[in-house]
Amino acid sequence: MKFQIQREDLLLPLQKIIGAVEKRQTMPALSNILVKAGPESLSLTATDLEIELVTTLNMVADEAGDITLPARKLLDICKALPDESSIKIQVDKDKAVVTSGRSRFSLATLPADDFPALESINAVAEFHLPQKILKELIDKTSFAMALQDVRYYLNGLLIEVNNGLLRAIATDGHRLAYCEKQADCEVAEMKQVIVPRKGIQELVRLLEDSDEPLTMIIGSNHFRVEVGDIRFTSKLIDGRFPDYNRVIPDDGTNIITADRENLRQALVRASILSNEKYRGIRLMADKDIMRLQTHNPDQEEADVEVEINYKGEPLEIGFNVNYMLDVLNVMDDNMVQATLRDSNSSCLITYPDHPDSKYVIMPMRL
C-alpha cells in the first residue's frame, strides 16, 4: 500500500474518528485504525467493539491495499507536522513509513484481518432528516443519562420513532429529560432503541446545527447515522426502558413562571454555599417571589430572592440544584414554567407555549 495525501485531508478525518479508538487496548488491533486504500478512495475505520466510525476520502492511491496503523501516534504525527505539508505513507511488510519533508516515522502495523468488524446491521427502518433535528434532541436530553448505573438500560439515550415524530428520552432515576421533533420518519409501527452513552457522545460531535441531511438507520441490534463522509454505527443496549409517560406528571396545579436567565443566575448564586456532596437547595414560592436557600456543614448559608409569576398557596420544596441548572442550561426560551402538585411531588419544567421539551426532577428532603 502506498499513497500521498495533504496533512489537513488526513488530520480532519482522524480527529473525527479517534473517539472510537479503544484506550484500554483489550485487543491490540483496537488501538489501531483500519486503513483501506483503493483505486479511487481511502477509508479509515476505528472501533471499540461498541461503536464504529468510518470516514471515506476521495483520492487515488499509488498502490492499493489495507493495513492497520496505530491511531493516536498517527494523529499526533499529523498534528505535529507543518500546515499544508504533504504526507507519504508506504507499507512494507510489518512496518509503515510515514514521510513528510525532512521528517520520517516508522510505525508498527497489524494485518487488516486482525481488525474486528461489526456484524450486519439488519436495517428495519431508514429515513432522512436535517442534522439539526437530531443534534437538538441529543443536546436537550443527553445530560440526564445515567453513568454506570447497575440498571444498564439507563446508561444510554432512548430514541423513539412514531407517526412522524422523533423523540429522545433520558433518565437516571432522579430526573428525566424528554424532547420531541416532527420529522419525515413514518414507520409502520413504533420503534424504540437505546443508544449507549459513549455512542451518543461521539455522535453529537459529528452533528452540526444545519439543514444538511443525514441518514438514520435503525437495525435489529444497531443504530447507524450517515452524515457527510462519516458513517457512525453503535450497538444497542438490550433492555427495556422505563415507561416515561408514567413518570411525567400531569396533575400539577401550582404553576410557577419565571424568566429563565434570572432564575438560572439566582440558582448559581445560591448554589455557592450548598452542600458539596448533596447539592440541596430549598425553594419557597409565595406571591410572585421565590426564595432560594442553601447551607453547608460549615454553617454557611445563602438566601437569594428572584421574581416569579405565582398565584398559588405558599409552597416549599427541595431539589438538587445541579439538576435544576442542567435543565435551565439546555433550555433556550426566555421564559420557563414549573408545575408542581405539592411539596412531595416531582417538578415538571416546560416552555410555557410549546411543550415539546419536558423535564422532570424528583424532590429532595432537606
Q: Are 136 and 227 found together in one domain?
A: yes
Residue 366 lies in a domain: no
Residue 17 to residues 29, 205, 263, 355, Cα–Cα distance (Å): 15, 10, 39, 36
CA-based nearest residue to 347, from 331, 334, 336: 336
What would the grid cell of residue 149 be? Answer: 448505573
pLDDT tens, per residue, the chain with 366 residues: 999 999 999 999 999 999 999 877 778 999 999 999 998 999 999 999 999 999 999 999 999 999 999 999 999 999 999 999 999 999 988 999 999 999 999 999 999 999 998 888 889 999 999 999 999 999 999 999 999 999 999 999 999 999 899 999 999 999 999 999 999 888 878 999 999 999 999 999 999 999 999 999 999 999 999 999 999 999 999 999 999 999 999 989 999 999 999 999 999 999 999 999 999 999 999 999 999 999 999 999 999 999 999 999 999 999 999 999 999 999 999 999 999 999 999 999 999 988 899 999 999 998
Q: What was the pLDDT predicted at 85? A: 97
Mean pLDDT of the chain: 95
Q: Are 230 and 268 found together in one domain?
A: no
Q: Are 242 and 255 found together in one domain?
A: no
How many residues appear in the chain?
Answer: 366
Q: How far is C-alpha 216 from the chain's CA centre?
A: 16
The count of structural domains within the chain is 3
Give alpha helix (H) positions in 144-231: 197-206
What would the grid cell of residue 18 be? Answer: 479517534
Q: Are 178 and 107 found together in one domain?
A: no
The residue type found at 197 is R
Q: Are 230 and 130 found together in one domain?
A: yes
Please identify, among 246, 281, 297, the residue that sits at the C-terminal boundary of a domain: 246
Q: Are 204 and 177 found together in one domain?
A: yes
Q: Are 252 and 230 found together in one domain?
A: no
Please identify, among 97, 114, 131, the residue that sits at the C-terminal boundary of a domain: 114
Distance CA 50, CA 70 (A): 19
Residue 290 lies in a domain: yes
Give this prediction's pTM.
0.93
Residue 96 lies in a domain: yes
What would the pLDDT profile of 10-28 be if each residue is shown by its tens digit?
A: 999 999 999 999 877 778 9
Residue 169 to residues 139, 164, 214, 312, Cα–Cα distance (Å): 11, 16, 20, 30
Cell 436530553, located at residue: 141
Give alpha helix (H) positions in 207-340: 244-247, 260-271, 321-330
Distance CA 257, CA 145 (A): 26
Residue 64: CB partners within 8 Å, gap ≥ 6? 1, 37, 38, 39
Q: Are 252 and 241 found together in one domain?
A: no
Q: Are 179 and 128 found together in one domain?
A: yes
Q: What's the first-to-final CA gap in the chain, in angstroms?
A: 66
Please identify, among 246, 266, 286, the residue that sits at the C-terminal boundary of a domain: 246
Share of the chain above pLDDT 70, in %: 100
Q: Are 252 and 242 found together in one domain?
A: no
**Angle between helix 131-139 and helix 197-206 axes, rounded to 10 deg:** 140
What would the pLDDT profile of 47-66 be if each residue is shown by its tens digit?
A: 999 999 999 999 999 999 99
CATH number for the domain spanning 70: value is 3.10.150.10
Distance CA 318, CA 323 (A): 11
Q: Are 240 and 180 found together in one domain?
A: yes
Cell 440498571, located at residue: 151
Residue 191: CB partners within 8 Å, gap ≥ 6? 124, 125, 160, 161, 162, 218
The residue type found at 340 is L
CA-based nearest residue to 102, from 114, 124, 121, 86: 86
Residue 266 lies in a domain: yes
Residue 335 lies in a domain: yes
Domain that holds residue 33: 2-114
Q: Are 84 and 135 found together in one domain?
A: no
